Amino acid sequence: MKERLTDRIKAMPKIDLHCHLDGSMTLESVERILGRRAGAEELQVRERCRDLAEYLDRFRLPLQCIQTEAGLRTAAREFLLDVAGENIRYIEVRFAPLSSVHEGLDCRKVVEAVLDGLREAEDRCRVAWNVIACAMRHHKKEDSLAMMKICREYLGNGLCAVDLAGDEASFPMKDFRDLFSEAGKLGIPFTIHAGECGRVENVLEAVACGAARIGHGIALKGHPRAQRICVDGRIGLELCPTSNLQTRAADKDGYPIREFLDAGLLVTLNTDNRTVSNTNMTGEMELVTQEYGITEEELLQLCRNAVEVSFAGDQVKHRLLSLF
Ligand SMILES: [Zn+2]
């Protein structure tokens, strides 16, 4: 019976809405770009990290790989071909364009290189995709705004949204109200990493700013009133269990997926960083069925939730919904 569920999970069509390109580069593309074989310990964390610093350290090498147009293109192409292998039908892949910008490479070229790579792979697999551009909390806000304006040009043409990522503990959400009110004026939808480490206020602030989705949102645990606000606003919650357990955003016994589902929240299941966390959607689905008693029907509900809160166009949504 157990094997049969595993087999069925493997065969299921899947959606991943929260997946970082740099944390999800295949070992092969890192090898191809760097010209040397990287050890797994350079790219992956152990089951439980010592701390967030250990987790973040595993992004050093991947970031080095995406400082050229060729590197960005290769990383994006190999990424999409890789996720096709576990029957992903739609993926929103995110990355921070400004982390690849330097004297020799401007933001527009960075974005186009990633879109080119994904388009190259698209002909060889049947994965629908969109890109989310992340603003980083530690970057200058005027640079992030300029990045968003460039990304606006690609909206509906490979790019679907923007995001806010990076060190949540050191930069309170209220400092980014202006930036996201500009995103709103530009007509770009957005998701925001919030409530990954602690404060439920960050989640509420992100929702008040107009975020359509929340990355992680673990801090909503035990806060029924805040949960109600998210339910009423049809806010999508992007849970990434393996990553959340590794970074100690939640402990294994207290992981709130069941609480969130019972509260009627629009929970989705995602990978965050496929390589750094050594996971994929198959692994996340197995984890929640084994550890948290999520049923097969609930897995389908998580997929339908993902369709509803995805930033895909209506046509793609309609096609995806027919899968579940
Ligand atoms: Zn993330």
* pLDDT at residue 47 tops 80: no
Q: Determine the longest span between alpha carbons in the chain, in angstroms.
A: 57
Ligand 1 centroid – CA 93 distance (Å):
10
The mean of the pLDDT values for the chain is 95
Alpha helices in the chain, H assignment, sequence order: 2-11, 27-34, 40-43, 52-57, 60-65, 69-84, 107-122, 141-152, 177-186, 200-209, 224-232, 241-246, 257-262, 281-292, 296-309, 314-321
* pLDDT at residue 151 tops 60: yes
pLDDT tens sequence across 111-136: 999 999 999 999 899 899 999 999 99
pLDDT value at residue 41: 86
Closest CA to 281 of 42, 29, 91, 76: 91
pLDDT value at residue 1: 53
Give catalytic residues, as residue numbers: 196
Q: Do 176 and 164 contact (CB within 8 A), yes or no?
A: yes
What confidence category does residue 207 fall into, taking pLDDT thresholds of 50, 70 and 90?
A: very high
More confident residue, 57 or 86: 86
Ligand 1 centroid – CA 166 distance (Å):
8
* pLDDT at residue 198 tops 80: no
Ligand 1 centroid – CA 8 distance (Å):
27
The percentage of the chain sitting over the pLDDT mark of 90, rounded to a whole number, equals 86
Task: Give the C-alpha separation, 43 to 24, whole Å.
Answer: 10
* pLDDT at residue 49 tops 90: no
Ligand 1 centroid – CA 272 distance (Å):
5
The percentage of the chain sitting over the pLDDT mark of 70, rounded to a whole number, equals 99
* pLDDT at residue 50 tops 60: yes
Q: Tell me the β-bridge partners of 136.
A: 165
Ligand 1 centroid – CA 107 distance (Å):
21
Ligand 1 centroid – CA 17 distance (Å):
10
* pLDDT at residue 249 tops 90: no
* Span 200-228, average pLDDT: 97
* pLDDT at residue 285 tops 80: yes
pLDDT value at residue 156: 97
Amino acid at 236: G
Ligand 1 centroid – CA 3 distance (Å):
31
- Return the CATH class of domain 6-310: alpha beta
pLDDT value at residue 298: 97
* pLDDT at residue 173 tops 70: yes
More confident residue, 168 or 306: 306
Please report which helix (H) or strand (E) contains residue 265, including its range.
none
Task: Give the C-alpha separation, 48 to 114, whole Å.
Answer: 31
Q: Do 211 and 195 contact (CB within 8 A), yes or no?
A: no
More confident residue, 48 or 278: 278
* Span 163-183, average pLDDT: 93
pLDDT value at residue 2: 58
The reported pTM is: 0.97
Residues ≥6 apart with Cβ < 8 Å to 82: 26, 274
List the domain boundaries for the chain.
Answer: 6-310
